[in-house]
Structure 1
Amino acid sequence: MDRRSIIKNAGIAGVLAAGAAPAVHAQAAIRWRLASSFPKALDTIFGAAEVFAEKVNAMSGGKFVVTVHAAGELMPAFGVVDGVQQGTVEAAHTAPYYFFGKDDTFALGAAIPFGLNSRQLTSWFYDGNGMKLFREFYDKYNIINFPGGNTGAQMGGWYRKEIKTLADIKGLKFRVGGFAGKVLSRMGAVPQNIPGGEIYQALEKGTIDAVEWVGPYDDEKLGFQKVAKNYYYPGFWEGGAQLDFYINKAAFNALSKENQAIVESAASYAHTEMQARYDNRNPAALKRLVAGGVKLRPFPKVVMDEAFKQSMALYEELRQSNPNWKKIYDDYSAFRKDQNQWFRFTEATFDRYMQSAKL
């Protein structure tokens, strides 16, 4: 008698008596490794990957485990795209503009000088064409992307000497993240792309003259105020720098629909929480820095104007030479234009009033 006949004619008791109980297989836990581009000391940026892992674990009831590894543990900070593309790790958390050397288009997924702010970028990805366009772009790298946090508008960095004219930019050895260096180099600076964990030593030793990272909370942790006292604003090259979770395409497609939804939901949660942490922690950090003798300085208008001019010229050059850039930037720039017209009458006007009001 076959097993189905036993089950049909004898019921459970008969099945057990016949020793023909159907096999029960426990579902094996899913284990992923995530490589971060950031050091553990930065609980805001590195912390976003930890939040992602915690939410995946919680939503799966412990059946889906993601271990998070700081820059240098599994691979270098700037090696994570190759790691995900090749399947060395299942996931990474990084700033897309670090990889402009592969294709300048990567930068549009993070921040470009005089680009979208954080709310606008989130809107473009989630309700505009940003996600669709980048899914198509990343497909050639075997990557599926999810927004993974945003710093908000950043500070303009730390300088040993004051920046008064365009002449002060020329020859400036400046640690600046990724793609923004292209604009600054057109202004005469000498950009350096250095991972977060190595910046302080370069500034302290005089290898570089200036450095930008994110803003007061992270910068204070990294100790830049001990070496340079001139703290400039705004970071016009990062009006809203977005981080991404990069997922190996094969690893993601191997997940059940339920687990795919868990990954997406966990990434969205981490995306929101990261900026909430920055917005909460930056104000107090800035007060501490100023109390400690740091001098806040705005970039001169002549510097801002030249940077804007060089940025727009660069983008047009890339439109002519890089089809990937043109396809995404054309949509991005049209979205930016509409957003700035809208924000002009709402957020910007409201913010200007509130910032001048005596509360």
Structure 2
Amino acid sequence: MDRRSVLKNAGIAGVLAAGVAPAVHAQATIRWRLASSFPKSLDTIYGAAEVFSQQVKAMSGGKFEISVHAAGELMPAFGVVDGVEKGTVDMCHTVPYYFFGKDETFAIGAAIPFGLNSRQMSAWMYEGNGLKLMREFYAKYSMINFPGGNTGAQMGGWFRKELKTLADVKGLKFRIGGFAGRIIERMGGVPQNIPGGEIYQALEKGTIDAAEWVGPYDDQKLGFNKVAPFYYYPGWWEGGPQVDFFINQKQFNALPAEYKAIVEAASSHAHVDMQAKYDARNPAALKQLVGSGAKLRPFPNDIMNQAFKVSMQVYDELSAKNESWKKVYADYAKFRADQNLWFRFTEATFDRFMQAQKL
């Protein structure tokens, strides 16, 4: 049977009955560039962008390709949002709270001190009002966001000297990401916002006294244990920090519907994949760090209590002067209260029991 005659003379039903599957629509070939805020050495957090890119390419049959560029290749780590807003790059992969200097509301899209844990954050984003509210806010910067990973609750960081009381925070030069620096500053510390790839040198030279990044797996790769012996927990400022893909709004709007769906599916896959990697790899890394001499310490209670008190004060102040913050935080805070009530009776009780067992 001549295929061309079939396509010419048969209706669509006849074509399908004949077992011929014509291309109803051929999608255009698209090439995008993605700027990451992370170094290639971090296969977890940087790697999420590569996972995303690979999924997009596979689901589009190679028609939609996104090249991933590490921090510094196309632009500085903290310049990626400007790059997306201006259209210099099509999209980026970053932590929203890096850009709280533009507007504190950015921080809510990632993590704020004593905020949601990772599961709660995903619930707020996907089933609560999180995506809706944050997308309304990001539209001011000509961007749309898609959740692109979560590290889970982080460690509190590496300190050259032991913290015994709240007084030890005063004058402490602490590399701490994003909005949490505001809290540390109120407590007498000196926050430093340094890209991941530059932290080791600053800690080694004594330019800073302490630094936090993510947790054992990444921290071991970055070698912080070699220059600061005390490893504190928990990272009360990052109970569930979300990493985002920001896409230039015009570029996203120009995509065919099929490609928009692919972007959404690929980002969700990368979102889950990142936390799975951290949860799977952190335990072994922590054992190795402790085995090599790292000294695990919980933050003293007076530091935790003061940090919580100051955080709530700052949130009230922001709600009084920043309308964007007020709108988003009001919804976030209500969701947080309901989540904590639920988790108190289920997740937290189960976790405490299991962690007390000798398995």
Q: Distance in 1 between matches of 2:255 and 2:147?
A: 19
| One-letter amino acid of the counterpart of residue 173, structure 1 | K
Other-structure match for 1:226? 226
- Aligned ranges 1:304-323 → 2 under 5 Å: 304-323=304-323
* Residue 28 of structure 1, CA deviation: 4.0
Q: Distance in 1 between matches of 2:109 and 2:28?
A: 35
Alignment of 1:141-160 (within 5 A): 141-160=141-160
- SS of the aligned residue for 1:88 comes to coil
Q: How many Å separate the matches in 1 of 2:230 and 2:137?
A: 39
CA drift at 1:112: 0.4
Structure 1 unaligned regions, length at least 5:
1-10, 13-24
The residue aligned with 1:336 is: 336
Q: Distance in 2 between matches of 1:26 and 1:101?
A: 44
CA distance in 2: counterparts of 1:101 and 1:138, whole angstroms = 14
Distance of 1:85 and 1:243 partners within structure 2: 17
Q: Which residue of 2 aligns with 1:266?
A: 266
Q: Which residue is equivalent to 1:243?
A: 243
Unaligned runs of 5+ in 2: 1-7, 10-24
1:46 paired residue number: 46
> Which amino acid in structure 2 is aligned with residue 264 of structure 1?
E
Separation (CA, whole Å) in 1 of partners of 2:142 and 2:236: 32
SS at match of 1:276: helix
The Cα offsets for residues 25-78 of structure 1, whole Å up to 9 and x where unpaired, read as 975410000000000000000000000000000000000000000000000000
Q: Matched residues in 1 for 2:284 and 2:356: separation?
A: 19
2:93 aligns to what? 93
In structure 2, what is the Cα distance between the partners aligned to 1:313 and 1:140?
27
* Structure 1 counterpart SS, 2:311: helix
Cα distance between partner residues in 2 of 1:185 and 1:29 = 49
Q: Distance in 2 between matches of 1:27 and 1:216?
A: 43
Cα deviation 1:217-247 (Å, max 9, x = unaligned): 0000000000011000000000011000000
User: In the comparison of the two structures, how many residue pairs are matched?
Assistant: 337
Q: Distance in 2 between matches of 1:276 and 1:109?
A: 20
Q: What is aligned with 1:205?
A: 205
What TM-score do you get using the length of structure 1 for normalisation?
0.93
1:18 is matched with none
Q: Residues 249 and 148 of structure 1: is their aligned pair in 2 closer, same or farther, counting only changes over 3 Å?
A: same
User: 1:357 — aligned with what?
Assistant: 357
Measure the CA separation in 2 of the matches of 1:228 and 1:49.
30
TM-score, normalisation: structure 2: 0.93
Letter in 2 for 1:199: I
C-alpha distance in structure 2 between counterparts of 1:46 and 1:136, whole Å? 26
Alignment of 1:20-59 (within 5 A): 28-59=28-59
SS at match of 2:46: helix
Letter in 2 for 1:338: D
Rounded to whole Å, the distance in 2 between the matches of 1:198 and 1:77 is: 11
The structure whose Rg is larger is 1
- Identity, % of aligned positions: 74
